Structure 1
């Protein structure tokens, strides 16, 4: 008997409910009772009954059919539920069905704006970190002109904060801790489509490998004094 009952339950199938609805229904203005009613509407639709009556819905809940009717009307007014009309070509009849697409679209809009807000906050934090890291490396507050240069790198040149920090590290390694040299690094990276710290690291390693196979020391000493030189390695040098 128990096995037969269990198999009967399994034969009724299951209903898939998006996790984001449980997580964010309060953020779109739904109360517990309202969310439960929408879940029952969703269950009826999934079970092949796209337009359950208020009586059918209230039969599964602890609220009256009149209350169900009022909540359903409110969902439609709030843009959380809509009624679509379809035509049965074979029978020549029209029928109505609930659609929860407005609910899913509202959840999608909420998640998109939430992610955009998080991205903006993360971007702001990264930019603030850039200023702090530069001041720590320079061991002093940045001048207004240096702050403006950082702003130009971020806003106009579209260099990401992690890439700017990578350029700062390159300048420290090279013993050229100044904004002009960092700007040259960023310019060279942009010219070679270097957009991430990983790409910058790989590019620097390849350049240094070429440097070890470069011209002799005597040839280097004969080069023009106007050439941009860096102790140990001048990775900005063109091969």
Structure 2
């Protein structure tokens, strides 16, 4: 390979393309041809030419000038591309392409995709929650218990993780029933507890307080017992 040719390739540089363009362009309604036209416009902009001609774009593609022109017009009409007009400080009017509408569509699609993933994960967690309760109770849940569990999620907006923590707390306390779990969740909500870590801290503080109270009660009972000196009898 000619060294000068290789050097010119290096000096030509590379174009950095957001990967989510390739991931989502079909989902936001772009065809392969439209996406390729956008990539060429993006490359021109990156090289400092913000308003390449139709001929310059078509020359790089297998499209005719007419087809390329129609594709760009369609992209503008459908809100993927826009032409901005302005004036320099010297009073020279200019036009340039802007891909901001495209980026906004991609960002919205990405956010929607993340929301769908989150909802899917939430559904999985809620489904496993019913299974976990049945395992701990060693029986199938009654319709009322299933409704109560659903209300904790839908009405009280407790996260599946927090409900699992309340279930664990009931198991540790030896009071495995829905009324006790509901009370735990009520107290946590009243205290502004929203995470498992906060719930664990609250439980630890509660147990330490109980142990301290039991110690004080035991000490009081000991002090109340009359002392009898067997040596003086």
With normalisation by structure 1, the TM-score equals: 0.82
Specify the structure having the higher radius of gyration (Cα). 2
Q: Alpha carbon RMSD of aligned pairs, Å?
A: 2.4
In structure 2, what is the equivalent of residue 137 of structure 1?
A: 136
Name the CA distance, whole Å, in 1 between partners of 2:208 and 2:217: 19
Q: Name the SS of the counterpart of 1:86 in structure 2.
A: strand
Greater shift in the superposed pair: 8-17 or 104-113: 8-17
C-alpha displacement of 1:130: 1.8
In structure 1, what is the equivalent of residue 71 of structure 2?
A: 71
Q: Name the SS of the counterpart of 1:215 in structure 2.
A: helix
Deviations 1:163-215 (A, max 9, x none): 00111111111111111111121122223322122222233233333433333
The structure with the largest helix share of the pair is: 2
Deviations 1:12-54 (A, max 9, x none): 3332211100111121222222211110000101111111111
C-alpha displacement of 1:5: 4.2
Q: Which blocks of at least 5 consecutive residues in structure 2 are unaligned?
A: 222-233
Name the CA distance, whole Å, in 2 between partners of 1:76 and 1:127: 44
Q: Name the SS of the counterpart of 1:134 in structure 2.
A: helix
In structure 2, what is the equivalent of residue 102 of structure 1?
A: 101
In structure 2, what is the equivalent of residue 52 of structure 1?
A: 52
In structure 2, what is the equivalent of residue 15 of structure 1?
A: 15
Q: Name the SS of the counterpart of 1:95 in structure 2.
A: strand
> How is 1:1-239 mapped onto 2 (pairs within 5 angstroms)?
2-90=2-90, 92-216=91-215, 218-219=217-218
C-alpha displacement of 1:94: 1.4
With normalisation by structure 2, the TM-score equals: 0.84
Q: How many residues get paired?
A: 221
